[in-house]
Amino acid sequence: MIFGNLMFIQKRKLINLGGLQSWTRAIATQQKFKDKVIIKVKGGTGGAGCSSFGREKFVPYGPPDGGNGGDGGSVYIATRPGIFNNLSHLLSHYKADSGTNGKGGNCHGSLGSSSIIYVPPGTIVKEIKNLNEEEEQGSSYPVQWVQRPGNERLPKVALEGPSFEEEAERQAQELLHSKSPPMDPYPIVYSMMDDGGKPRILCRGGIGGFGNVHFLNEKNRSPKFATKGLKGQSKVFELELKTLCDIGLVGLPNAGKSTLLNSLTRASSTVGDYEFTTLQPHLGTVRLISDNHIPVSFRLADIPGLIEGASEGRGLGFEFLRHVERAKLLCMVIDISPRAKISCTEAFQQLWKELEEYNPDLLKRLSVVIANKADLSSQKQLQGLEEMVFNKRRTIRVIPISATQRQGMDVLLRCMADAYSNLSVV
């Protein structure tokens, strides 16, 4: 037994970690995890312009006074640090409100309300399809009329030169181009870091229609038509969470990662005596309070188990390694009990090899090796693991624990907190 007189830490008990105090009942998120989603986004349609004429007591046929329609609302995306690193809260469709129609008396319609999609920092946004791309390819806008202009009631002089319909179309195009926003880059690609929550445009709302007052000219003194508002942009985006957690727990199947996460937090990660019990990451948060009452918190993730050949796609393969890449720091969880399928040194070598072959930079994030099930192991096995880790890199600490018995948790929490604090300072 490695643990002799180590204190048995009761769950929910406030403990002292040599300068740090910790509530091991830290809050956790237990919800369906999604790190990649596809969403369809649509801007609001612009309101229609109004065709009306001023009417007063002694002026039965006044000048045109139709107001413009309001522009449709746009859809934006922004970061919100309070959101857990999970995209499961997102809907499949987002749409901004449409603008209202214009009215007589030069009353313009109101703007449609815009929508903001909130995502956690570290989300990558990629435009994968523009649903109204064909409408935007030409140099002209698809003008639609509330009441189409015609030549049947115009004087003969108005019929000379371009038809009135052509002239009205030209006027409408000029109005639209003068009001159109600058072209957005295609495709849109955003890296949503923690930028203070500044919104970024996804889909712009449609331009509102123009009232008949804009079509007053020398040839037609009483235009009886207005334009409809344009449709808003409609696009499909892929959102992928790049940063999953602060500290990721990696290890072979059945190493005790889920049990450890449940012990450190109030997460409810599934625990079972079979491989690949965890098929998707589970998240939890540990909150620590220092002696000077400064709160420190970091997010833990129980990452699905890695097997030999994962860097070549075996097992959960690249899906597993994709999750590992999203952790700022890594902690290896190794079963050092006699019941383990392979020795603790072989397990460490295998994990090191797979991470190195996939991406050598991942090994730079490794700060702690957690020797789990140490209550069932001998001192000799632990020493063998410590020597191997020391030969690989002297700065990596080996912490013996028992996740089921909650032994060694105080030292582990302190070590994790130190590693995370050093990362935050850098």
pLDDT confidence of residue 272: 40
Residue 370 · residue 397 · CB < 8 Å: no
Inside any domain, residue 70? yes
- Residues 237, 251, single domain; the answer is no
- Residues 272, 389, single domain; the answer is yes
User: pLDDT class for 195, splitting at 50, 70, 90?
Assistant: low
pLDDT confidence of residue 152: 41
Q: What is the CATH number of the domain that holds 110?
A: 2.70.210.12
Q: What is the CATH number of the domain that holds 256?
A: 3.40.50.300
Q: Which of 223, 243, 263 is the last residue of a domain?
A: 243
Q: Which of 192, 221, 243 is the last residue of a domain?
A: 243
User: pLDDT class for 331, splitting at 50, 70, 90?
Assistant: very high
- Residues 140, 55, single domain; the answer is yes
Percent of the chain with pLDDT over 90: 33
Residue 300: pLDDT above 70?
yes
Q: What is the pLDDT of residues 168-186, one digit of tens each?
A: 888 888 888 888 887 777 7
- Residues 270, 259, single domain; the answer is yes
Backbone φ and ψ of 356, nearest 5°: -65, -40
Q: What is the pLDDT of residues 140-170, one digit of tens each?
A: 567 788 766 654 444 444 444 456 677 888 8
Q: Where is pLDDT greater, at 327 or 305?
A: 327
Q: What's the CA dihedral at 324, 327, 331, 334 to 10 degrees?
A: -20
Which segment of 304-318, 329-343, 347-361, 407-421 scores lowest on mean pLDDT? 304-318
pLDDT confidence of residue 148: 62
- Residues 164, 100, single domain; the answer is yes
- The three-point CA angle 377-382-384 to 5° equals 130
- Residues 226, 265, single domain; the answer is no
Residue 136 · residue 81 · CB < 8 Å: no
Residue 16: pLDDT above 60?
no
Inside any domain, residue 6? no
Inside any domain, residue 404? yes
- Residues 264, 383, single domain; the answer is yes
Q: Which of 243, 265, 286 is the last residue of a domain?
A: 243
Residue 322: pLDDT above 90?
no
Inside any domain, residue 5? no
Inside any domain, residue 335? yes
Distances (CA, A) of 269 to 22, 303, 337, 363: 21, 10, 22, 26
Q: State mean pLDDT over 79-86.
A: 74
- Residues 81, 150, single domain; the answer is yes
Token look-up 């397990």 returns 347
Strand partners, 332: 250, 369
Could you list the residue range(s) of the whole structural domain that residue 55 is in?
36-243
- Residues 24, 156, single domain; the answer is no
Q: Write down the mean pLDDT value for the chain.
A: 78
User: pLDDT class for 2, splitting at 50, 70, 90?
Assistant: low
Residue 397: pLDDT above 90?
yes
pLDDT confidence of residue 303: 78
For residues 371 and 261, give the distance between their C-alpha atoms in angstroms, rounded to a whole number.
14
Inside any domain, residue 42? yes
For residues 89 and 83, give the distance between their C-alpha atoms in angstroms, rounded to a whole number.
9
pLDDT confidence of residue 159: 40
pLDDT confidence of residue 192: 83
Q: What's the CA dihedral at 416, 418, 423, 424 to 10 degrees?
A: 110
Q: What is the pLDDT of residues 335-393, one digit of tens each?
A: 999 888 889 999 999 889 888 888 889 899 999 999 999 988 888 889 999 999 999 99
- Residues 187, 335, single domain; the answer is no
Q: Where is pLDDT greater, at 297 or 79?
A: 79
Inside any domain, residue 64? yes
Inside any domain, residue 3? no
Q: State mean pLDDT over 224-240.
A: 93
pLDDT confidence of residue 137: 45
User: pLDDT class for 110, splitting at 50, 70, 90?
Assistant: very high
**How many domains does the chain fold into?**
2
- Residues 47, 86, single domain; the answer is yes
Q: What is the pLDDT of residues 235-272, one digit of tens each?
A: 999 998 876 678 988 888 888 888 888 888 765 544 44
- Residues 178, 311, single domain; the answer is no
